[in-house]
Amino acid sequence: MRVVPGFPCLRSPSLTNAQLTTLQRLWRIAGLEAVSGYGSALLAIAVASDTTLADMLRWVDFDDARSVADAVAALLRWRQRTFK
């Protein structure tokens, strides 16, 4: 794919399986109430709409405590902003 200046890059409006798995794992680590069924789908849609958070999910290293802590903090900030 070639990037053309002045045109936005195409981005998927959903999360990949890896991003969704990371989101679910971080959600549990953060101690948030479990979501399932349609709730999981709605959470994934909401997170996918925030490009910064969705992109962050690609780079979480679960072998690095700092990476996990930063990701959990970002998730909690996003949740607070989104679900007031």
**What pTM did the predictor assign?**
0.81
Q: Which amino acid is at 13?
A: P
- The single residue listed with the structure tokens 């890896």 is 18
- The single residue listed with the structure tokens 């994934």 is 44
pLDDT tens digits, residue range 15-61? 999 999 999 999 999 999 999 999 999 999 999 999 999 999 999 99
- The single residue listed with the structure tokens 């998730």 is 75
The H-or-E segment that residue 22 falls in is helix 17-29
Mean pLDDT of the chain: 87
Res. 2: pLDDT tops 60: no
